[in-house]
Homo-oligomer: A and B are copies of this chain.
Amino acid sequence: MASIYDVARMAKVSTTTVSKVLSNTPYVSAPTKERVLDAMRELQYVPSLAARGLTGNRTYVLGLVIPYDPAFLFGDPFLLEIIQGVEAVANDHDYNLLLSVARQADQRSAYTRLLRTGYVDGAITYETFEGDEAAKKLEERGMPRVSIGYETKDRPLNRVHSDDWRGAYEAVKYLLSLGHRRIGIVSGPAKFMSAMDERMRGARTALAEYGLGLDSDLLTYGDFTLESGYRAALPLLEASNRPTGIFAMNDRMAAGIMRRAREYGLNIPNDLSLVGYDDVPLTILVEPPLTTIRQPGIELGRVATQKLFELINNEIQQFDPIVLPVELIIRGSTAPPPS
């Protein structure tokens, strides 16, 4: 594989000059530059990222860290949207994307390893949990990072997320405005995703506006999988005060609820209204199509990555949280409650 030496020799210049051409530094004459470029073409020269990384300079690699069990998050089309957004912007900047998915067990290690290894110029972390020591240390060392999702209060900076509070608020308010008064909620894994807290707050606010509180019987939890929605629906449907409307915190769980409702002989939307979250493609496939809250997944990835580049390029030192708007998408799974 051709190295910078080969190029230098062929163009009859020093490696310094080749490097200058590479980085578009001025003070290289046009003809010289041409010769160098020709040589690079001829030799199919590609600079070694390893060597570049070593000089403390750019590595042209971005880390995308998803510190969760793959089985848990990886089934989620929404994640694919985020990756797609990140990838697109990284690609625009000629950057490569290093994917790191920590599992439960070695969560910290995989995460840390990627970031401390000096192989990435910056990182995007998805939904990191509170109190991540490793991440904190990295930032002290100046590793640019932007977080998609919430994070601890210690770090109210450099993060982008969508407006979870409003999403849930809109979802529940819509059900209320249709006339529903007994509203069930199927939340996500609350322990470690603060987005869920935000949504719960939004939901409660909407309820409060109608003078209602959240009945604890009507709150269950799933882990975002369809099956967990199917399971979480059961207590709701069997509750003495069965809800007439359910808000599920993602679409896959909503689909699970839908299936369970069908088994119960409940017609959606006539007997039970259902609102999902994310607006992943499946929402238009199910029958009836799912009313849901649209989260801009690709945009989330894009914005986060754009900001990351601004950090990397030292154009900014930090930025205030960016909140992307969500949107209530009304489809066929919602209707006024049965009288």
Q: With an 8 A cutoff between CB atoms, is A10 at the interface?
A: no
With beta carbons under 8 angstroms apart, the residue of B74, B84, B98 that contacts A74 is B84
Q: With an 8 A cutoff between CB atoms, is A61 at the interface?
A: yes
User: Shortest Cβ distance from A80 into chain B, in angstroms?
Assistant: 5
Given contact pairs A54-B48, A286-B287, A99 touches B119 in the complex (Cβ within 8 A) = no
Residues of chain B lying within 8 A (CB to CB) of residue A99: 64, 83, 87, 96-99
Q: With an 8 A cutoff between CB atoms, is A113 at the interface?
A: yes
What 1/0 mask marks residues of chain A from 206 to 246 whose CB sits below 8 Å from any chain B CB? 00000000000000000000100000000000000000000
With beta carbons under 8 angstroms apart, the residue of B61, B74, B91 that contacts A80 is B74
CA distance A255 to B287 in the complex (A): 12
Are B53 and A50 in contact, with the CB atoms below 8 A? yes
Are A97 and B96 in contact, with the CB atoms below 8 A? no
Q: With an 8 A cutoff between CB atoms, is A30 at the interface?
A: no
Are A47 and B97 in contact, with the CB atoms below 8 A? no
Are A91 and B84 in contact, with the CB atoms below 8 A? no
Residues of chain B lying within 8 A (CB to CB) of residue A51: 50, 54
Are B118 and A75 in contact, with the CB atoms below 8 A? no
User: Shortest Cβ distance from A267 into chain B, in angstroms?
Assistant: 13
Are B75 and A80 in contact, with the CB atoms below 8 A? yes
Kindly name the residue among A48, A87, A285 whose own CB sees the greatest number of chain B CB atoms within 10 A.
Answer: A285
Given contact pairs A70-B87, A77-B77, A1 touches B116 in the complex (Cβ within 8 A) = yes
With beta carbons under 8 angstroms apart, the residue of B46, B88, B119, B141 that contacts A117 is B46
Are A46 and B101 in contact, with the CB atoms below 8 A? no
Size band of the interface chain A makes with B: 35 or more
Residues of chain B lying within 8 A (CB to CB) of residue A77: 77, 80
What 1/0 mask marks residues of chain A from 67 to 85 whose CB sits below 8 Å from any chain B CB? 0001100110101100110
Residues of chain B lying within 8 A (CB to CB) of residue A284: 226
Residues of chain B lying within 8 A (CB to CB) of residue A44: 116
CA distance A103 to B103 in the complex (A): 30
Are A226 and B281 in contact, with the CB atoms below 8 A? yes
Are B48 and A118 in contact, with the CB atoms below 8 A? yes
User: Shortest Cβ distance from A289 into chain B, in angstroms?
Assistant: 10
Pick 15 A–B contacts, CB within 8 A, sort by A: A49-B50, A49-B53, A50-B53, A50-B117, A54-B54, A64-B99, A74-B84, A74-B87, A83-B99, A91-B103, A97-B99, A97-B100, A98-B99, A226-B284, A286-B286
Closest 5 CB pairs of A and B: A50-B53, A287-B287, A46-B116, A49-B119, A97-B99
Given A74-B87, A226-B285, 20 other A-B contacts at CB below 8 A?
A1-B116, A46-B118, A47-B117, A48-B117, A48-B118, A49-B117, A50-B119, A54-B54, A61-B119, A70-B87, A70-B88, A77-B80, A80-B80, A91-B103, A94-B113, A96-B99, A98-B99, A226-B284, A285-B285, A286-B287
